[in-house]
A and B are shown apart, each in its own frame.
Chain A
Amino acid sequence: ILNVEQSPQSLHVQEGDSTNFTCSFPSSNFYALHWYRWETAKSPEALFVMTLNGDEKKKGRISATLNTKEGYSYLYIKGSQPEDSATYLCAYQRIYNQGGKLIFGQGTELSVKP
């Protein structure tokens, strides 16, 4: 069974706070790690795809790091804004499923209060 775990399950922060979440995945047969942002009633929006150990990606105030040897990725949001409120999903892709199947975590639900 391939488990992708995300923590915390939910997070409530004040506007301006910086925050981070964790995604844990199997370190064996790793191919890629995806991060998505999912607002209620909308499509999941792709944030990052990371493939190399030590990868760091950045998009505005959001950044992510990847450690494939120990099987974890961190997503950071600097200076959270109310519009960052969403569920953040990570998804693991195995080397046997290149270009295919994503295995999703349960997500971290972020709520940013003004």
Chain B
Amino acid sequence: EAQVTQNPRYLITVTGKKLTVTCSQNMNHEYMSWYRQDPGLGLRQIYYSMNVEVTDKGDVPEGYKVSRKEKRNFPLILESPSPNQTSLYFCASGLGQMNTEAFFGQGTRLTVV
């Protein structure tokens, strides 16, 4: 089954404790991206990657890191989480230029206390 898998689905953590949210896709997609979704603000792009070792900033990259060492994986790293990073996070992947955002993961609900 074609899918984008995020882990964990739910996470409560404390301020300053480094964490990683994993994202993996089994569709051989070149493009992957991370979003956060907040009430009233909608989905905002954090980082995206066009291929292995190629990443670029979206609209809200501050406080986040990403890496793309393998085509299928695109982890999101919060080196020092803060309460304002409490949000619902989505990973997405797509084939190429046009239909690039075809598949979203199930989401990760992160709470930073």
- Do A and B interact? no
